[in-house]
Every structure is written in structure tokens, then in C-alpha cells.
Amino acid sequence: MIYFDSSALVKRYLKEKGTDLVQSLTTREELVATSKLSYPEILFAFMRKRREGELGEEKLQSILEQLDADWPELFIIEIHDELLPLVKSLIRKYPLKGADSIQLASALWLESMTKTEVVFIASDMSMLDAATKENLRILNPQG
């Protein structure tokens, strides 16, 4: 089972280092999970590229349509109260931002609930370091 942080999942839509691997994984794997938090984080990345002139309006619209078409196919982890003790623990142990702690807590919760190994995919080194220390398998699509 694979879990995508938004820093990695955004590569499915924006051509960046790691895009080919992310696209391959998202089409090959049966279950692709992410937090509900990924949706606004990915939208933010798109809009930042648009504001910076790196993404035209037509391309932006196409990407937004693709995200909305893909979203129902993902296994979405809700931000629920069961995550809060994990979030608290992660923030105490590691220098994670609030949103990053929710992403990592979601992956840990998923692994705990399904009793299945979860591969945590992210491009943020502090998150990958914390995930490793929490005994998750990790993958950085940027290599």
C-alpha cells in the first residue's frame, strides 16, 4: 500500500523531478492513499505556479479537472480525532509543521488500521526522516 504526501502527489500533475515515478506508481498500484489535507495543499501548489507565471490558465484548468477526476479514485484519510494523539506525539518528537504531522500521522494510522505495510512517499526530507524513525518504508520520488 502506498501513501502520498502532497509534496509527492503534486508531481502527478506538475512536471517536476520525480513526475515519471509518481505517475507510474499511481497508475500501477491498486490502493493509493493520501490525507484529505492533500487537496488544498495541491491546489495551493497549482495556484502558486499560476501566480508566478509558470502555469497558464488553460493548463491550470486542465490540471484542476484531472485532479478532480482522480480524487474519487484515491483512498482518502479523513482528519479525525483518532489522528490527534499521533499528531501530538509526532510534533513533540520531530521538527514537523502542523500539516506535515497530519500527513505522517495519517500514514501511520493507515498502517496500524490495515495491518499492511505502507510506503510513505514524500519529497520533504524532514518528513521522510521522521517517517523512517517511525518505521515506515519511505520513497522519495526525486531520488
Domain map (residue ranges) of the chain: 2-139
**pLDDT tens, the chain, 143 aa long:** 999 999 999 999 999 999 999 999 998 888 899 999 999 999 999 999 999 999 999 999 999 999 999 999 999 999 999 999 999 999 999 999 999 999 999 999 999 999 999 999 999 999 999 999 999 999 999 98
Q: Which three cell numbers stand for residue 114?
A: 490495515
Q: What angle do CA 89, 95, 100 make, to 5 degrees?
A: 75
Query: Could you report how far apart the first and last alpha carbons of the chain are, in Å?
Result: 20
The predicted pLDDT at position 68 comes to: 97
Instruction: Give the CATH H-level superfamily of domain 2-139.
Output: 5'-nuclease (3.40.50.1010)
The model carries a pTM of: 0.94
> Phi and psi dihedrals of 54, rounded to 5?
-90, -10
